Chain A
Amino acid sequence: MTESILLLPLLLIVLGLPVVFLLRRMGLTNPKAGWLLSTFPLAAFFILLYAYTLLPHGKPLFFRLPWIPSLGLNFSLYLDGLAALFGLIITGIGALVVLYTGYYFDDAHPTRPTSGETHKSSLEVRFFAYILLFMLAMLGVVLAGDFITMFIFWEGTSISSFLLIGYKYKDEAARKGAFKSLFITGGGGIALLAGCLFVIHLTGSADWNTVIAGRELLTNSPLYPAFFTLIVFGAFTKSAQFPAHIWLPEAMSAPTPASAFLHSATMVKAGIYLLARLNPALGGTDLWFWVLSGFGLITMLAGAYLGSKQNDLKPLLAYSTVSQLGVLVALIAQQSEIAFKALVISILAHALYKSALFMAAGIIDHETGTRDLRQLGGLRKQMPILFAITSIAALSMAGLPPLFGFLAKETLLASATHPGLPPIIDSLFPLTTVLAGALILFQAAILVWGVFLAPPADPKHPPHGHDPRPGFWLPPAIPALLSLLIGITPIEPAFLANFLADSAKAAYGAKVKVSLALWTGINVPLLLSIVAVSLGAALFWQRNRLRAALMTFLPDLTVNRLYDWTLRGLDWLAKTATHLQGGQVRVYLRVIAISAVSLYLLLGGFPPLSLLPSPQWNLHGLNGLRAFSLVIMAVAALSTIFLRRDLFSVLALGVVGLSVAVWMALEPAPDVALVQVVVDILTTVILILGLNAIPRKQRDRANELLHSRRGMTRDWFVAGIFGLAVALTTFTALELRPRESLVSPYYAENAKPMTGAKDIVGAIVVDFRGSDTLIEIMVFGMAGVAIYTLFHFGARKPGEASTQETLQTLPARMPRGIYALPTSPLLHTLAYVMLPLAFLLGATHMMYGHDQPGDGFTAGVIISLAIAMWYIVFGYQETRRKLTWLNRNNLVATGLTLALLNALLGVALGEGFFAPVNYGDRLSLPLPPGFSLSSAFLFEVAICLTVMGAATLMIDNLGRIREDENA
Chain B
Amino acid sequence: MTSYWLLPPLLLPLAGVPLTLALRKYPRSQQIAALLVMFAALLSTLTLLRQVLRHTALTLQLGAWPFPFGISLTADLPGTFMLTMSHLVLMAGFLYAAGSTEKVTRYPTFYTLFFALAAGLSGAFLTGDLFNLFVFAEIIVISGAALTANADEPAGVEAAYKYFYISTLAAMFFLLGVGALYAAYGTLNLADLARQIASTPLSPLALAGLAFLAVTFFIKSAAVPFHFWQPDFHAAAPTAISAMLSSLVVKVGVYGFLRLTTLLFPTVSLLKTLLVLVGIAGVVYGGFGAAGTHNAKRMLAYSTLAQIGFILVGLGWGTPFSIAAALVFAFNHALIKAAMLMLAGAMASRAAVKSASFSVVVGVGKYHPFAGILFLLGGMALAGIPPLNGFVSKFLIFWSGLDSANYLSLAVLGLASILTVTYVIRAFMRIWFETNPEAKPKAGDSLLAPALLIALSLVLGIWADPLIVLAQTSAQWLNDPQNYIRWVIGSG
Q: B69 contacts A747, CB within 8 Å? A: yes
Per-residue A-contact encoding for B412-435, CB less than 8 Å = 1, 0 else: 001001110110011001001111
Q: Tell me whether B211 and A769 are in contact (CB under 8 A).
A: no
Closest chain-A Cβ to B470's Cβ sits at a distance in Å of: 10
Q: Is A210 an interface residue (CB 8 A)?
A: no
B481 within 8 A of A: no
Q: Please, how many angstroms separate the alpha-carbon atoms of A897 and B468 in the complex? A: 39
Choice from B4, B65, B386, B387 contacting A768 with Cβ under 8 Å? B65
CB of A604 within 8 A of CB of B149, answer no
Contact of A900 among B18, B21, B182, B185 (CB under 8 A): B18
Q: Across the interface, name the chain A residue whose C-beta is closest to B377.
A: A159
* Binary per-residue interface labels of chain A (227-250) against chain B in the complex, 1 for a CB within 8 Å, 0 otherwise: 000000000000000000000000
- Mark B107-130 against chain A: 1 for CB-CB distance below 8 A, else 0: 111101100100110010000000
In contact, B146 and A785 (Cβ under 8 angstroms): yes
Asked, given contacts A183-B422, A789-B107, A790-B149, whether A915 binds B291 with beta carbons under 8 Å apart, the answer is no
From residue 116 to 168 of chain B, which have CB atoms closer than 8 A to chain A?
Answer: 116, 119-120, 123, 131-132, 135-136, 138-139, 142-143, 145-146, 149-151, 156-157, 161-162, 165-166
What's the least CB distance linking B50 to chain A, in Å?
19
B274: chain A residues at CB < 8 Å are 599, 602-603
User: How far is A770 from B69 in the complex, measured between Cα atoms in Å?
Assistant: 12
Check B63 against A732 for contact (C-beta < 8 Å).
no
B187 within 8 A of A: yes
Instruction: For A785, give its contact among B60, B112, B182 (CB under 8 Å).
Output: B112
In angstroms, how far is the closest chain B Cβ from the Cβ of A75? 9
Neighbouring A residues of B429 by C-beta, 8 Å? 166, 169, 175, 178-179
- Within 386-427 of B, Cβ neighbours of A (below 8 Å) are at 386-387, 391-392, 394-395, 398-399, 402-403, 407, 410, 414, 417-419, 421-422, 425-426
Determine whether the beta carbon of B139 is less than 8 Å from that of A916.
no
User: Which of A36-44, A85-93, A192-200, A339-347 contacts its partner?
Assistant: A192-200
Which of A68, A166, A578, A732 meets B289, CB within 8 Å? A578
Query: Does B489 lie at the interface of the complex (its beta carbon under 8 Å from any beta carbon of A)?
Result: no
Q: What A residues does B139 contact at CB under 8 A?
A: 775, 778-779, 782
State whether A159 touches B465 (Cβ < 8 A): no
Query: Which partner residue on chain A sits nearest B210 by CB separation?
Result: A603
Please tell me if B22 contacts chain A, counting CB pairs below 8 Å.
yes
Binds A, one of B7-15, B76-84, B85-93, B242-250: B7-15
Within the complex, the shortest CB–CB distance from B420 to chain A, in Å, comes to 9
Q: Determine how close the nearest CB of chain A comes to the CB of B121; give it in whole angstroms.
A: 12
Contact A904 B11 (CB under 8 A): yes
- Interface of chain B, helix or strand or loop or mixed? helix
Q: How far is the CA of A289 from the CA of B70 in the complex (A)?
A: 70
B33 contact set on A, CB distance < 8 A: none
Q: How far is the CA of A736 from the CA of B180 in the complex (A)?
A: 10
Give the residues in chain B near A915, CB-CB below 8 Å: 63-64
Q: Per-residue CB proximity of A730-745 to B under 8 Å, as 1/0?
A: 0011001110111110
Residues on the A chain within 8 Å of B188, using CB:
743
B21 and A889 contact, CB distance less than 8 A: yes
CA distance A894 to B179 in the complex (A): 33
Binds B, one of A315-323, A449-457, A906-914: A906-914
Kindly specify which of B227-235, B352-360, B437-445, B447-455 makes contact with the partner chain: B227-235
Please encode chain A, from 752 to 779, with 1 for each CB lying within 8 Å of some chain B CB and 0 for all others.
0000000000000001111110011011
* A200 / chain B contacts, CB cutoff of 8 Å: 399
Minimum CB–CB distance for A289 against chain B, Å? 25
Chain B residues with CB under 8 A of A607? 204
The one of B63, B138, B214, B226 in contact with A916, judged by C-beta atoms closer than 8 angstroms, is: B63
Q: How far is the CA of A916 from the CA of B69 in the complex (A)?
A: 14
Residues of B within 8 A of A738 (CB): 184, 186
Q: A193 near B395 (CB under 8 angstroms)?
A: yes
Asked if A695 CB lies within 8 Å of chain B CBs, one says no
Residue of A nearest to B386 (CB): A152
Cβ-closest chain A residue relative to B229 = A588
* Structural contact, B113 and A605, CB atoms closer than 8 A: no
Contacting residues, chain A, for B392 (C-beta < 8 A): 68
In the assembled complex, B24 has its CB within 8 A of some CB on chain A: yes
Assembly CA distance A182 to B139 (angstroms): 43
Q: A571-B291, A732-B204, A890-B22 are in contact. Are A770 and B63 (CB under 8 A)?
A: yes
Instruction: Provide the residues of chain B in CB contact with A789, threshold 8 Å.
Output: 107-110, 113, 146, 150
B63 touches A729 (CB 8 A): no
Q: Inside 8 A of B231's CB, which chain A residues have their CB? A: 581
Q: How many residues of A contact B (CB 8 A)?
A: 116
Asked whether, in the complex, the Cβ of B208 is within 8 Å of the Cβ of A155, the reply is no
Chain B contacts for A778, CB-based, 8 A? 14, 17, 116, 119, 139
Inter-chain contact B465/A67, CB cutoff 8 Å: yes
Report how far A68 CA is from B7 CA in the complex, Å.
33
In the complex, which residues of chain B have a beta carbon less than 8 angstroms from the beta carbon of A596? 173, 215, 226
Is B138 a contact of A608 with CB atoms below 8 Å? no
Q: How large is the interface on B (under 10, 10 to 19, 20 to 34, 35 or more residues)?
A: 35 or more
| Whole-angstrom CA separation of A482 from B479 in the bound complex | 63
Q: A603-B270, A789-B146 are in contact. Are A183 and B418 (CB under 8 A)?
A: yes
Which residue on chain A has the smallest CB distance to residue B385?
A155
CB pair B146 A595 closer than 8 Å: no
In the assembled complex, how far is the CB of residue B139 from the closest CB belonging to chain A, in whole angstroms?
A: 5
- A795 interface residue, CB < 8 Å from B? yes
Contact call A728/B208, Cβ cutoff below 8 A: yes
Q: Are A794 and B208 in contact (CB under 8 A)?
A: no
- The verdict on B459 contacting chain A, using a C-beta distance below 8 Å, is no
In the docked arrangement, what's the CA distance between A169 and B426, Å?
13
**Known A179-B425, A743-B68, A794-B104: A571·B292 in contact at CB below 8 Å:** yes
Closest-CB distance, B398 to chain A (whole angstroms): 5
Task: Encode contact with B along A847-877: 1 for CB under 8 Å, 0 otherwise.
Answer: 0000000000000000000000000000000
CA A156 – CA B376 in complex, angstroms? 13
Q: How far is the CA of A16 from the CA of B457 in the complex (A)?
A: 24
Q: Is A702 an interface residue (CB 8 A)?
A: no
A197 lies within 8 A of B228 (CB): no
State whether A782 and B464 are in contact (beta carbons under 8 Å apart), knowing that A570-B288, A583-B232 are contacts in the complex: no
| Contact digits for A178-217, partner B, Cβ 8 Å, 1 yes 0 no | 1100110011011101100110110000000000000000
What is the interface of chain B, defined by CB distance below 8 A to chain A? 4, 7, 11, 14-15, 17-19, 21-22, 24, 60-65, 68-71, 103-104, 107-110, 112-113, 116, 119-120, 123, 131-132, 135-136, 138-139, 142-143, 145-146, 149-151, 156-157, 161-162, 165-166, 169, 173, 176, 179-180, 182-188, 192, 203-205, 207-208, 210-212, 214-215, 218-219, 225-226, 228-229, 231-232, 268, 270-271, 274, 285, 288-293, 302, 376, 380, 383, 385-387, 391-392, 394-395, 398-399, 402-403, 407, 410, 414, 417-419, 421-422, 425-426, 429, 432-435, 464-465, 468-469, 472
The 3 closest A-B pairs by CB, nearest first: A574-B292, A786-B146, A741-B186
Report A's interface with B, CB cutoff 8 A: 66-71, 148, 151-152, 155-156, 158-159, 162, 166, 169-170, 175, 178-179, 182-183, 186-187, 189-191, 193-194, 197-198, 200-201, 226, 570-571, 573-578, 580-581, 583, 585, 587-589, 591-592, 595-596, 599-600, 602-605, 607-608, 726, 728-729, 732-733, 736-738, 740-744, 746-747, 750, 767-772, 775-776, 778-779, 781-783, 785-786, 788-790, 793-795, 889-890, 892-897, 900, 904, 906-907, 911-916
Apart from A159-B380, A578-B289, A790-B157: 20 A-B pairs, beta carbons within 8 A: A155-B385, A162-B425, A182-B425, A183-B418, A576-B292, A587-B228, A591-B228, A592-B228, A595-B218, A732-B180, A771-B71, A775-B123, A779-B135, A779-B139, A794-B157, A795-B149, A889-B109, A913-B4, A913-B60, A913-B63
- Give 28 pairs: A residue, B residue, CB < 8 Å, sorted on A: A67-B465, A68-B465, A68-B468, A71-B468, A152-B387, A182-B421, A190-B418, A194-B414, A200-B399, A580-B285, A595-B215, A595-B218, A596-B226, A600-B211, A603-B207, A608-B204, A729-B176, A732-B204, A747-B69, A770-B63, A775-B136, A785-B21, A785-B146, A789-B150, A793-B107, A795-B150, A912-B64, A913-B7
